[in-house]
Amino acid sequence: MTPPRDDRYREARCLVTGGAGFIGSNLAIALVESGARVTVVDALLPDLGGNRFNLAPVREQVDFHELDLRASDALASRVRGQDYIFNLAGQISHIDSMTRPLDDLAINCDSHLSLLEVCRRENPAARIVYAGTRQQYGRPRYLPVDEAHPLVPTDINGINKMAAETYHLLYHRIHGLRTTSLRLTNTFGPRQLIRHARQGFLAVFIRRALEGQPLKLFGDGSQLRDLNFVDDVVRAFLIAGAQASAIGEAYNLGSREVLSLRQIAETMLRIGGRGRVEVVPFPEDRKRIDIGSCYCSFEKFHAATGWEPRVPVADALEKTIDYYRRHADHYL
């Protein structure tokens, strides 16, 4: 698979936080392929997705540091001199955020405020793009969800991600930092954590399809979702970073290809060729924070930058399953 490339980053100095994780590693690889000089920091906290193997294609071409963003003195030297900072550090488990809320606060709020303070002191001219989430909206009041939709998260993770995004935009308004937030929807693809079931239904589906286990649908499987292949998301980060008009704004990503959970599961099984779809009752802990059908409008970002997803879901699922078949030992 060829990662997205953007020649505007040739010789640019780029820092990727959370760069050993799923989206961060794919972005780091794309930046290297674009000719950038790439520094990666990742705390490699257990069960959050950081995986040294994710960076295997560019291991010798990135400057990697195992580092928590809250270690501000050590972080300062990595922030100085960077042209671009792509901030993808964090944890995304909604269930974990409800059972360990103070951990989520530390990882998804404290860390980002620490990074922004270091940027304000050491490199206020850097271009910063933050990874937000559609989970900030909570249960949709209308569909598709656009950026005018109220932000009423249903879980601690959504609250903390909303707060971190607000920090980024506040630091633009008050301190002049050149920040942008991309609110990601259901992103999937190679290098995603699939080892456990706490980071979204797509990771669970992928693992179960690979192992020939039932793909369990909570409720009736009619809930609608939009999906983005990781290559399209990486391209969005590259475009947002290079687009001056995007500074100070928050944008949805999304797709015009809206599918039910059942359709997604059945497509995955057709490609994976194993397992079956099984409808089960909602577990109580998940039912309390479920958002029902949710898909987003990305028209604001499209109007500002021209971005739109290019990879159809079926093609993306085929590429994803092929990757894990070849590299399963590093993910299962």
Domain locations along the chain = 10-193+228-257+296-310
Alpha-carbon gap, residue 76 to 63, rounded angstroms: 15
Handedness of CA 160, 166, 169, 171 (dihedral sign): negative
Examine residue 281 and say whether the peptide bond preceding it is cis (omega within 30 degrees of 0): no
How high is the mean pLDDT of the chain? Answer: 94
Angle between helices 261-272 and 313-327 (to 10 degrees): 50
Rounded-to-integer distance, Cα 276 and Cα 273, Å: 9
Rounded mean pLDDT, 56-82: 96
Could you tell me the pLDDT band of residue 278, with boundaries at 50, 70 and 90? Answer: confident
pLDDT score, position 2: 66
| 0.85 surpassed by pTM | yes
Residue 131: closest CA among 152, 175, 171, 162:
162
Task: For 63, list phi and psi in degrees, rounded to 5.
Answer: -95, 100
Of 121, 145, 148, the closest CA to residue 135 belongs to: 145
Q: How far is 145 from 323, CA to CA, in rounded Å?
A: 32
* Check whether domain 10-193+228-257+296-310 has CATH 3.40.50.720, yes or no: yes
Q: Do 69 and 114 touch, CB atoms closer than 8 A?
A: yes
32 close to 58: Cβ distance less than 8 angstroms? yes
Q: Higher confidence at residue 238 or residue 212?
A: 238
- Rounded distance between C-alpha atoms, residue 258 and residue 57, angstroms: 32
Residue 106 above 60 pLDDT? yes
